[in-house]
Amino acid sequence: MSQTVDRALSILPLLAQGPADLGQVAERLGVHKSTALRLLRTLHEHGLVHRQQDQRYRLGARLFALAQEAVENLDVRDIAHPYLKELNDECGHTVHLAVREEGEVLYIDKVESRYPVRMYSRIGKPVAITVAAVAKLLLADLPEGERREIAEKLEYPQYTARSTPNAFAFLRELALVREQGWATDLGGHEESINCVGAPIRGADGKVVAAMSVSAPNVVVTREELLTLLPLVRRTAEAISREYSGTGDAPRPA
């Protein structure tokens, strides 16, 4: 919509492919050299473009700094919340959002069930890392070495008969979760409570958070809860798209 800016921005993908000199930039933009020069100068002043000693232009460090700063200031919670609420509207159960922090997995958001029977959890509280669906999702994304290291250092409390018994079983579970792209906790923490969860990924494909839907047996059976899996996964994917800044105009309805 703005010709000047449009031209200037067109330089960036061009330089991303590799260094180029003024003449090449001008030619590929279809403008006069002096025009290209002024655009490059402006980009340069903002640090988006760097001039190497052979006088050619390259993308500059500022671009990386901006990308990094943007990621740091991005709050998954802000972005995810409306989606979690919507999911809760549709299924009625408790919805959790969790992240990994310093070797623990913490709940950072929660939308309460509309059913009278609720499960115990608190925002900011570490989750039962060896059994919770969100914990499995977050750990499953780590490289194999780290997974093993963590799994071996953990304790495996037997909350119920279905709790993950040991590191070996946990690692096998993580491998499964990693492959299938979703996770469950079927009575592993409290005998009567089941969860299904899915991962939320950032622009680089790494898992940055995990969400899950939890419900007690008295409300829905294990099988009924599992029918929600497609919905949960779709929601997680929508949050991922929004979080990573991919795909525009989400649900213009």
Q: Which residues bind DNA (CB under 7 A)?
A: 2-7, 21-23, 31-35, 37-39, 55-56
CB proximity list for 250: less than 8 A, separation 6 or greater: 238, 241, 242
**Residue in the block written with tokens 């008969």:** 161
**Cβ-based nearer residue to DNA, 22 or 186:** 22
* 30 binding a copy of itself? (CB under 8 A): no
Among 23, 66, 112, 222, binds a copy of itself (CB under 8 A): 66
* 6 binding a copy of itself? (CB under 8 A): yes
Among 23, 67, 85, 125, binds a copy of itself (CB under 8 A): 67
Helix (H) or strand (E) holding 94: strand 94-101
Q: Which of a copy of itself, DNA, none binds 31 (CB below 5-8 Å, type-dependent)?
A: DNA
Q: How far is the CB of 155 from DNA (least distance, A)?
A: 47
Among 29, 60, 121, 159, binds a copy of itself (CB under 8 A): 60
* 175 binding a copy of itself? (CB under 8 A): no
The rounded distance, in Å, linking the Cα atoms of 168 and 171 is: 5
Dihedral over Cα of 224, 227, 228, 233: its sign: positive
**Cβ-based nearer residue to DNA, 53 or 122:** 53
Q: State which amino acid sits at residue 52.
A: Q
Helix axes 133-140, 167-180, angle to 10 degrees: 80
Q: How far is the CB of 30 from DNA (least distance, A)?
A: 7
**Residue in the block written with tokens 């279809």:** 30
